Amino acid sequence: MRSPVPVGDLAAVLAGPVDDAARALLGCVVTAGGVAVRLTEVEAYGGLGADPASHAHRGRTPRNAVMFGPPGHLYVYFSYGMHWCGNVVTGPPGQAAAVLMRAGEVVSGRELARERRGAAVRDRELARGPARLMVALGLDRAVDGAALLDSAGLVSLSAPVVALEPAAVASGPRVGVGQGQETPWRFWIDGDPTVSAYRKAMPRPRRRPG
């Protein structure tokens, strides 16, 4: 496993390869709606034509336009007609790579996050999963395209003071994708209780003709 990319210059990191950017995003803090979440699990998706699991694999559409850059912006999509998911755009403009924010630890605004998620939700579950993370932050499609490195914006991303040690970062296959699942581009902080449970994608049954 390669060492995490230094995070002193987050803009430069996000402009680089998507898997390196994904590693570097672990430990970064996303702030929005009075809540701050430290990212503990992310998932990388490659650029145009390079990754069959990517939303941009077949080209640019109104839905995925933000993925085509510039890096450092937020790409938001609706999953299964139920949930909003947030991604950090990476790589050179036109490449269309992004990193899904899969899970995190609420480090500020915990009570506000609990109001959004439910009074009985445990601390570790507040942002455990990509949809829950967005709910905890109070985010939806309205922030699609937001500049994450603008500290005065509706949603912002800040680097950790110290990069994680290489031994703290684990990687494995991605979750819930039908193609490219074997690519080990899901990264997480090993042993962190807020990391979501891995579930292998199940093939959908083919519909019989007629």
pLDDT in tens, 91-139: 999 999 999 999 999 999 999 999 999 999 999 999 999 999 999 999 9
Please give the Cα distance from 179 to 52 (Å, whole number).
Answer: 6
Amino acid at the residue 102: R
Q: What tokens appear for 50 in the block?
A: 């390079």
Please give the Cα distance from 99 to 106 (Å, whole number).
Answer: 19
**Which pLDDT score is estimated for 198?**
79
Gyration radius of the chain over CA positions? 16
Positive or negative torsion for Cα 130, 200, 60, 67: positive
User: Mind spelling out the 3-state secondary structure of 64-86?
Assistant: CHHHHCCCCEEEEEEECCCEEEE
Q: Residue 96: is it exposed, middle or buried by C-beta count within 10 angstroms (0-12/13-18/19+)?
A: buried
**Predicted structure pTM score:** 0.89
Helix (H) or strand (E) holding 19: helix 18-25
**Which pLDDT score is estimated for 174?**
86
**Which pLDDT score is estimated for 4?**
46
Q: Please, what CATH class does the domain formed by 10-189 belong to?
A: alpha beta
What average pLDDT score do residues 153-157 get? Answer: 94
Between 97 and 166, name the one with better pLDDT: 97
**Which pLDDT score is estimated for 126?**
98
Residue 168 banded pLDDT, cuts 50, 70, 90: very high
Q: Which of 109-118, 169-178, 201-210 has the highest mean pLDDT?
A: 109-118
**Which pLDDT score is estimated for 202?**
52
**Which pLDDT score is estimated for 57?**
79
SS3 (DSSP) at 196: coil
Residue 2 banded pLDDT, cuts 50, 70, 90: very low
